[in-house]
Amino acid sequence: LSCTQRRHIKFAITNPTNVTIGFHLRSTRPSAIKVYPTYGFIEKHDFAMAKVYFPKVDEHDFKVRADRLTVLLAVKPEDLSISEPKLLWDEKDYRLDVFARRCITVKYSKPFENQMIKTSRKSSTKGKETTDEQINEQKRQSHKDAKTNAAAQAIKTVQSNDSDGECEEEGSTEDDQQ
């Protein structure tokens, strides 16, 4: 998380099968996790890149609790146009008997910038001077570390979910109640 900048990570959704599959990405807290693309089709033996965006947060108003990003996958019916992947998930038109679900747990920690700045400012009051340039360098380094940790966690979670099977969906979400 960041109080000063929007963050994002990328991941690939692969299709190792001999048929075209459709995907749908959903999250338990849409106000905290934006995904692009939300819907799509992946040709046989191909992949699609997805981006997950995390907006800037106010550390006092943001509830630090785990969220879940769910990837739903299904075989594309013959009569569905490849230009309209959203229709695959419209239960009025299509009843999907066979589909797969993969869950990615998103775990947050307190926004890192404030911790680094507070630490730097405390040390400067003890006779050491910390310049704005040093603080900005610490922010850049923390940003790199956070990006690396988020990517590693996402990969680790996807790999563990592949071996776990299906996960359960919760009925209500924080954003649905608003």
Q: Residues, the chain, total?
A: 178
- pLDDT reported for residue 14: 93
The residues that bridge with 13 in the sheet, in sequence order, are 48
Radius of gyration of the chain (CA): 20
Contact, 58 vs 11, CB < 8 A? no
The residues that bridge with 112 in the sheet, in sequence order, are none
In a domain, 144, yes or no: yes
- Specify the CATH number for the domain of residue 125: 2.60.40.10
In a domain, 46, yes or no: yes
CA-angle at 139, arms to 133 and 145, nearest 5°: 140
Encoding tokens for residue 50? 């997805």
Tell me, yes or no, if the pTM score tops 0.85: no
60: helix, strand or coil: coil
Range of the domain at 149: 7-172
Which CA distances in Å does 141 have to 24, 116, 134, 153? 34, 10, 10, 18
- pLDDT reported for residue 2: 66
Give me the number of domains the chain comprises: 1
In a domain, 2, yes or no: no
pLDDT 10s digits, 10-19 = 999 999 999 9
Instruction: Using DSSP bridges, classify how beta strands 67-75 and 21-27 pair: parallel, antiparallel or unpaired.
Output: antiparallel
In a domain, 177, yes or no: no
In a domain, 131, yes or no: yes
Confidence tier at 20 by pLDDT (50, 70, 90): very high
Q: Helix 132-164 and helix 112-124: axis angle, to 10°? A: 150
pLDDT 10s digits, 148-166 = 655 556 555 555 545 444 4
pLDDT 10s digits, 27-36 = 988 887 889 9
Q: What is the rounded distance in angstroms from the CA atom of residue 23 to the CA atom of residue 37?
A: 9
pLDDT 10s digits, 51-69 = 998 887 776 777 777 889 9
In a domain, 146, yes or no: yes
In a domain, 42, yes or no: yes
In a domain, 56, yes or no: yes
122: helix, strand or coil: helix
